[in-house]
Amino acid sequence: MKTALYRKYRPTSFDGVIGQDVIVTTLTNQIKKGVVSHAYLFTGSRGTGKTSCAKIFARAINCKTPINGSPCGECEVCKALASPSNLDIVEMDAASNNGVDKIRDLRESVGYLPSAGKYKVYIIDEVHMLSGSAFNALLKTLEEPPAHVVFILCTTEVHKLPATILSRCMRFDFRLVPTDKLFALVKDIFEKEGVTADDKAIMHIAKLGEGSVRDTLSVADRCKSASDNLTYELVLEITGSGSNEDTAALMEAVIDSDVGGVIKKAEQMAAEGRSVSRISRDLTVYARDLMLYMTSGESGQSAESVARMAITAKKTDIGFLVRLVRTIGGADAEIRYSTAPRIALESALLSLCTPSLATDSTAAGANAQSSAPTDTSQPYPAAQSNNTPQSDIAPQPEIKNKTAPVAKPAAVPDFEKPNGRTDEKALEVLGRIRRTLRTSGFLRLFGEYGALPDDRVRIVGDKFVVYVDDGSYLVFNEPDNFAAVRSVVESCGYTLVIEKLKSGIDPLEQIIKSVQGLEITVIKK
């Protein structure tokens, strides 16, 4: 039977783990120094190496002669632990064993000494699925673990874990893997598998993985099963996506409000066999790349595409692109179930070309094309146009928790030149916000650093003040993200306050529209 590539190439030592350098260095240093904690938490996006690293680490801490922090694979312990029936590395999938009974069994077995190596390691995958009582039972064990026991908890949804568990674990956040690293991995695997593929083809596969190694290897697998000799065109055909140039052209037509151009381009793409839902997905991904480029200067695109993006970026702004993503998202059901999907997509796109027709819930805030031009073509840190004197911080919205009304901040904080200035205390909270957002759906597409740079947060008394502009507005535009930010800020003992920096769009109304269940007062100066 054919083994899936992602199984066949699951790394067995830390050398094979890509894109997680900080984590790998920290873990291998612990092995080298012989300092092992009792509980680890591996969190982050799917398919980025949490389970793989947990397995490697579990063997490495037991190995008699680790090589550079990885298990040697040769010693008697490594050999004993290689067998899936060994009793020292216990892997438990909380998704299917989420009850308190399993954890009670676990607590009993924790008392027995390891049979082969030094440590008994419990890997609890998808730990967020445990029931409340199971968490409590686990907590008791985490409080007083025997010296020979190590827990590694893995989850994509760290925000679902109780704080009592979090505080007992050493935490590692697995990042999405950059496209160039995915590219190198696929290239290497194709070489080993005897598949020839041009670089453009491999790059396309790497991009479709969207930062997940597992997803990338699944796409690679699909292509490999189709042919041992892959070209870019073939990969496009197999993966069902048309060329990026077409998507870019369609995006430009929408941004230019070129109604005829939109219809013609959509028609041509459909005629070439791209399904309408594929066209709308490609357009959404392109909008995301464009926003990433505008906020961070990165894009994951080839040089020629970047040059094209730079031109497009000058003509639009984040507010418009967010609206585009939402409008297309809103038309999704219609596109999927309608008997005339192309008309559904076209009318969604045309509503963007003609602002007066826009009826979706997010349209009221920013009308990108009619708002004052902002220089959003610059990568975020260089966007000096956002660097406004404090007198320009005009309407000052204060977002309050209904149950705990608060007064407006006593003084406008010292914030004349935001770029480059940081507030140490606020950065601690920001770190937590980023860690939380990294694992929640929307923002991780854009990169939490671009959206909430270090110099945009301040602590003023008991307020945590965030200065919103085009970039950080992305965070607040999503109700889930907003709720996550607020809960982190409140758990740190502060009240969240949003201040607006002058920018090309007016995010305030969008915030009001998208944040439900919150009382918002706009204080006019």
Which secondary-structure segment (H or E) carries 465?
A: strand 463-468
Contact 503, 470 (CB under 8 A): yes
Which one of 14, 27, 43, 46 is in contact with ligand ATP (CB under 6 A)?
46
Helices (H), 275-317: 276-296, 303-315
The piece of 44-52, 82-90, 113-121, 320-328 that touches ligand ATP (CB under 6 A) is: 44-52
Residues 456, 458: Cα–Cα separation, whole Å: 7
- The DSSP code sequence of 30-97 is HHHHT---SEEEEEESTTSSHHHHHHHHHHHTT-SS-BTTB--S-SHHHHHHHSTT-SSEEEEETTT-
Nearest distance from residue 446's CB to Mg ion, in Å?
24
In 10 A of CB 384, how many CB atoms?
A: 11
State yes or no: residue 11 binds ligand ATP (CB under 6 A): yes
The piece of 46-54, 105-113, 142-150, 332-340 that touches ligand ATP (CB under 6 A) is: 46-54
**Nearer to ligand ATP by C-beta: 52 or 98?**
52
Nearest distance from residue 77's CB to Zn ion, in Å?
6
Question: Using CB distances below 5 to 8 A depending on partner kind, what does residue 80 bind out of Mg ion, Zn ion, ligand ATP, none?
Answer: none
Which one of 43, 51, 284, 377 is in contact with ligand ATP (CB under 6 A)?
51
Question: Using CB distances below 5 to 8 A depending on partner kind, what does residue 75 bind out of Zn ion, ligand ATP, Mg ion, none?
Answer: Zn ion
State yes or no: residue 20 binds ligand ATP (CB under 6 A): yes
Residues 199, 190: Cα–Cα separation, whole Å: 11
Nearest distance from residue 135's CB to ligand ATP, in Å?
19
State yes or no: residue 439 binds Mg ion (CB under 5 A): no
Site residues (CB under 5 A) for Zn ion, limited to 42-81? 63, 71-72, 75, 78
Question: Using CB distances below 5 to 8 A depending on partner kind, what does residue 72 bind out of Zn ion, Mg ion, ligand ATP, none?
Answer: Zn ion
State yes or no: residue 51 binds Mg ion (CB under 5 A): yes
**Nearer to Zn ion by C-beta: 12 or 378?**
12
Which one of 30, 38, 47, 324 is in contact with ligand ATP (CB under 6 A)?
47
Nearest distance from residue 40's CB to Zn ion, in Å?
20
Contact 184, 209 (CB under 8 A): no
**Nearer to ligand ATP by C-beta: 50 or 308?**
50
Nearest distance from residue 440's CB to ligand ATP, in Å?
14
Nearest to 154 by CA among 252, 49, 242, 50: 50
Binding mask 159-198 for ligand ATP (x = CB under 6 A): ---------------x--x---------------------
The piece of 47-55, 170-178, 354-362, 424-432 that touches Mg ion (CB under 5 A) is: 47-55
Residues 448, 136: Cα–Cα separation, whole Å: 32
Pair of tokens at residue 124 = 């609890």
Tell me the Cα Rg of the chain. 25
Beta-strand relationship, 457-460 and 463-468: antiparallel
Q: What is the CA angle 154-15-126, rounded to 5?
A: 10
Rounded to the nearest angstrom, the gap between the alpha carbon of residue 331 and the centroid of all alpha carbons in its chain is 24
State yes or no: residue 213 binds ligand ATP (CB under 6 A): yes
Nearest distance from residue 65's CB to Zn ion, in Å?
6
Beta-strand relationship, 229-230 and 196-197: parallel
Contact 253, 219 (CB under 8 A): no
**Nearer to Zn ion by C-beta: 63 or 292?**
63
Contact 473, 513 (CB under 8 A): no
Site residues (CB under 5 A) for Zn ion, limited to 78-117? 78
Say which residue the tokens 């650093």 belong to: 449
Nearest distance from residue 352's CB to Mg ion, in Å?
39
State yes or no: residue 19 binds ligand ATP (CB under 6 A): yes
Which one of 28, 30, 52, 376 is in contact with ligand ATP (CB under 6 A)?
52
Which one of 49, 117, 409, 471 is in contact with ligand ATP (CB under 6 A)?
49
Pair of tokens at residue 183 = 């590219």
Question: Using CB distances below 5 to 8 A depending on partner kind, what does residue 434 bind out of Zn ion, Mg ion, ligand ATP, none?
Answer: none
SS3 363: coil
Nearest to 59 by CA among 40, 77, 38: 77
Which secondary-structure segment (H or E) carries 27?
A: helix 21-33
Site residues (CB under 6 A) for ligand ATP, limited to 309-348? none
State yes or no: residue 48 binds Mg ion (CB under 5 A): no
User: What is the CB-side half-sphere exposure of residue 19 using CA atoms within 13 A?
Assistant: 25
Q: Residues binding ligand ATP: what is the number (CB under 6 A)?
A: 24
Output the CA torsion sign for 267, 271, 274, 275: positive
Nearest distance from residue 521's CB to ligand ATP, in Å?
41
Residues 36, 57: Cα–Cα separation, whole Å: 10
Residues 63, 80: Cα–Cα separation, whole Å: 10
Contact 349, 291 (CB under 8 A): no
Nearest distance from residue 217's CB to ligand ATP, in Å?
6
Residues 56, 69: Cα–Cα separation, whole Å: 10
Nearest distance from residue 216's CB to ligand ATP, in Å?
8
State yes or no: residue 20 binds Mg ion (CB under 5 A): no
Nearest distance from residue 16's CB to ligand ATP, in Å?
6
Contact 171, 41 (CB under 8 A): yes
Contacting residues toward ligand ATP, per CB under 6 A: 6-7, 9-11, 16-20, 46-52, 154, 156, 174, 177, 213-214, 217
Contacting residues toward Zn ion, per CB under 5 A: 63, 71-72, 75, 78
Contacting residues toward Mg ion, per CB under 5 A: 50-51
